[in-house]
Amino acid sequence: MPLFERISTFFLALLLACGCGWLPALPAAAAESAAQGVLEVGAQKTALKYAAAVMHDNAEGLLPGAGQELRILLTDVEVAPAGLHGIAFVPVTQEARAGKVHGLLLTLNPDDPYAMQVTVLAPSQPGAALDSLSLTSQPAPLIADYKMAGNAVSGSFKLASGTLRSDEIRFTAVVQPEPAITADLKGRAALASPHLKALRARAQAMVKGDNAAVARLSTPSENRELDAALAQLGAQAMPMMRDAGKDMLLSLGGVERVVVRGDHAVVIFQNKEAWQDMALVDGQWKTGK
């Protein structure tokens, strides 16, 4: 089994275990961003009222394709643009799995309204994985009246797939940029970075089975996922964690780049086969979002 898959086995269990911390909404965006429409997922109906949008510049080079990715969020409760930050499994999806927010997450090339990925923020039960659809349309675009003007995006669309239904959903959203890159460390600078030192210390703690040290070197959201995983996996959790720690230690020498955006960072491993989110908490770089 490839190294990344071995490392991922334990952390996939963490990801499926639970959600992360709630992201407060930004009232300033509400005056300029809004959604209108009703989403039906089986018997569940959700009135969509709020919209947010983020343009990810893909400077890390980890997203499919080489261009930017536009993320449009349409929900029943207001969510800050920070809920759309990151590479994959953006924070709002964790909130949706926990039942705290319902709606749709659209991702697309900003120059191509004929194709988009739709993540349905309505798990079949708390903690369950979210359904995702890849949609394309020709000759008419998926998003009718699609318009990118300045820092705003607008349009309308309808959905009809399986148990997913909607009449016309309209939206207008202010497009926020991903936080700017504040450091881009490569080669020796990446290997000597505080991010790598923190990752190495956490991996060593995992090998030792030192849960207290692992917790100190993890973000609050990562710790919640870890606690849930330990409870869910039972006796298998500690051996899996030790093995994941050993594999992580072996892989750290292949780190190629650390991209820092303020108090968040992404550690990118060899050939972009894997990456690790990190966050600066109380002056210490820690593993997690």
Contacts of 44 (CB under 8 A, 6+ apart): 102, 122
pLDDT for 213: 96
Residue pair 15/69 in contact by the 8 Å Cβ criterion: no
pLDDT tens digits along 99-148: 999 999 999 999 999 999 999 999 888 778 899 999 999 898 999 999 99
| pTM of the model as a whole | 0.81
Q: How high is the pLDDT of residue 163?
A: 87
Strand order in the sheet with 284-287: 183-186, 257-261, 264-268, 275-281, 284-287
Residues of the chain with pLDDT under 50: 1-31
Direct distance between the N- and C-terminal alpha carbons of the chain, in angstroms, rounded to an integer? 27
Cα–Cα–Cα angle for 200, 201, 205, nearest 5°? 115
* CA–CA distance, 86 with 179 (Å, rounded to integer): 10
What gap in Å lies between CA 251 and CA 286, rounded to an integer? 18
Crossing angle of helices 3-17/237-251, nearest 10°? 130
Q: How far is it, in rounded angstroms, from Cα 168 to Cα 171?
A: 10
State the alpha helices, DSSP H only, in the chain: 3-17, 27-30, 91-97, 188-191, 194-208, 211-216, 220-233, 237-251
In the chain, where are the structural domains located? 3-19+181-287, 32-177
Mention every residue, 6+ apart, whose C-beta is less than 8 A from residue 143: 108, 113, 116, 155, 156, 157
* Cβ neighbours of residue 193 closer than 8 Å, sequence gap 6 or more: 185, 258
Query: Cβ(73)–Cβ(105) under 8 Å?
Result: yes
98 in Cβ contact with 125 (< 8 Å): no
Give Cα separations from 172 to 1, 23, 158, 166, 285 (angstroms).
46, 21, 15, 17, 36
Per-residue CA distances from 147 to 18, 113, 139, 141 (Å): 36, 9, 17, 12
Q: Which of 121, 98, 44, 48 is nearest to 78 (CA)?
A: 48
Q: In the 8-state DSSP scheme, what is residue 218?
A: B
- CA distances in angstroms from 23 to 83, 208, 218, listed in the order given: 6, 33, 18
Which amino acid is present at 28?
Answer: A
Measured distance CA(271)–CA(266) in Å, rounded: 14
